[in-house]
Amino acid sequence: MPELPEVETLCRQLKKKICDKRILNTETFDSKLAEIKNMRGKRVVAVKRAGKTIAIDLDDGNSIVIHLRMTGRLLWQKISTMPKYSRWKMAFADGYIFLVDPRRFATVRVVRRKENGADREIFGDFELTELLKLHGGRKTKIKTLMMDQSVVKGIGNIYACEILYRAGIHPERIVATLTAAQWRKIFSQAKNVLKKAIAKRGTSISDWRDLYGRKGENQHQLKVYGQEGKKCAICGGTICRIKLSGRGTYLCPGCQK
C-alpha cells in the first residue's frame, strides 16, 4: 500500500513527466469517480505531495488531489490501451496516466487550491516538542498514534512497524509512558526509515509499482513487516505478528518492550 515513500516516488516521477504540460483530456471509467470534471485544456504547473496525497496543481487555480488508499496505482503509458482495473485517465500529447485500482478505494477530487504549509509533514514543519504538547499525554498505543494522519502525515502500517522495531519500542506501548529519549529515537528512526525507503523507490511487498510499472527495492530492507516466524537480526528471537486495532502488526518480542 502506498505510504509516504511510495507517494514521494510517484510525485517525483510525475513532476518530471507532466509539469508544464497540457492535459488534452480526462476520462472516468468508474461510477464512483463520476463527479470528476473533464480537465481538458488545463496546464499542470506543479506536482506536490502532502502526506500520502498527491496534488497536481493546474493553471486555473485548481488542484487534482489523488489518494491511492490501498491498491491504487498511477501508471504512465505511451499507448491508450487500458490496463486492467483502470478507473480514470489523463491524456497528454506524449502519453497517458491511468489510475489503476482493483479495490476501488482510491479517490480523485478537484479542489480550489489553497496554500497550505508543510504542517505535520515529517520532512517539513514537524516539531517533536509541538507533538508532545498536543499528544504526549494520550492513552492510545504508539503505533495507532503514528498512523493517525492528523498527528503526523505519511506513515502507514508497514513503516510504523519498521520504525518501532528500529526504535526498540513495542507497538502497544501507551503513548503517555514514553520517555523523552524514546520519543527522540522514534522521531529519528522515522526520518531514517522513510528516507531510505524513498531512496529505494518504495516497498513492493504486494502491489506497489511506480509510475512506469517498476517494483521498488525497499522490501529487501524490511526487518519485521511480513517476516513472521523469521529470526530477528538483532537478538535472534522470532518475529511475531499480533493484531492491533484490527491491523496486522509485526514485531520482535525480544527487542521491543
So which residues are the catalytic ones?
2-3, 52, 247
| Region of 18-26, 42-50, 65-73, 123-131 interacting with DNA (CB under 7 A) | 65-73
Smallest Cα–Cα separation from 74: which of 222, 196, 202, 221? 202
How would you classify residue 254: left for phi > 0, otherwise alpha for psi between -120 and 50, otherwise beta? alpha
Q: What is the pattern of x (binds DNA, CB under 7 A) and - over residues 35-64? A: ----------------xx------------
Q: 92 or 123: whose CB is closer to DNA?
A: 123
Which of positions 98-137 make contact with DNA (CB under 7 A)? Answer: 102-105
Which of positions 133-192 make contact with DNA (CB under 7 A)? Answer: 138-141, 144, 147, 149, 156-158
**Residue 5 in contact with residue 193, Cβ under 8 Å?**
no
**Residue 104 in contact with residue 144, Cβ under 8 Å?**
no
**Residue 42 in contact with residue 58, Cβ under 8 Å?**
yes
245 binds DNA (CB under 7 A): yes
Q: How far apart are the C-alpha atoms of 15 and 136, rounded to whole Å?
A: 37
**Residue 158 in contact with residue 222, Cβ under 8 Å?**
yes
Q: What is the pattern of x (binds DNA, CB under 7 A) and - over residues 70-89? A: x--------------x----
Residues in the site for DNA, rule: CB under 7 A?
Answer: 1, 32, 51-52, 67, 69-70, 85, 102-105, 138-141, 144, 147, 149, 156-158, 245-248
